[in-house]
Amino acid sequence: DTGVSQDPRHKITKRGQNVTFRCDPISEHNRLYWYRQTLGQGPEFLTYFQNEAQLEKSRLLSDRFSAERPKGSFSTLEIQRTEQGDSAMYLCASSIGLAGGAETQYFGPGTRLLVL
């Protein structure tokens, strides 16, 4: 399978705990994105990497959130001191990185987080 993969697919945690999600993009893609989706809404942009550089973060990404993409390959998204409002589907997408950005983003299956 050469698509975007995410791990874990589901995570249940207690409020205040830290969680970390992993995303493996399509191998030749140099752009990687994290989105969050809540019930009844479309995905909302969180952050973006071009290779290993994190180039933009949304205002949705509070100080409790941190993302990395060491060596420009897989990426991790960590949420510290989780809150019930963090419960959502966390989606990772990757793209090949064309000039102007008119390329297709391919999404992984998502990690569904439930904070109790």
Partner 1 sequence: DQQVKQNSPSLSVQEGRISILNCDYTNSMFDYFLWYKKYPAEGPTFLISISSIKDKNEDGRFTVFLNKSAKHLSLHIVPSQPGDSAVYFCAAKEVDSWGKLQFGAGTQVVVTP
Q: Which residues contact partner 1 (rule: CB under 8 A)?
A: 4, 6, 31, 33, 35, 40-45, 48, 50, 55-56, 91, 93, 95, 97, 100-110, 112
Q: How far is the CB of 93 from partner 1 (least distance, A)?
A: 8
Whether cis (ω within 30° of 0) applies to the bond prior to 8 is yes
The nearer residue to partner 1, 45 or 74, going by C-beta atoms, is 45
Other beta carbons within 10 angstroms of residue 111's beta carbon come to: 22
Taking the C-alpha atoms of residue 47 and residue 37, their distance in angstroms, rounded to an integer, is: 13
3-state secondary structure of 99: helix
Q: How far is the CB of 16 from partner 1 (least distance, A)?
A: 27
Q: How far is the CB of 69 from partner 1 (least distance, A)?
A: 14
The nearer residue to partner 1, 56 or 83, going by C-beta atoms, is 56
Which residues make Cβ contacts (< 8 Å) with residue 101, sequence separation at least 6? none
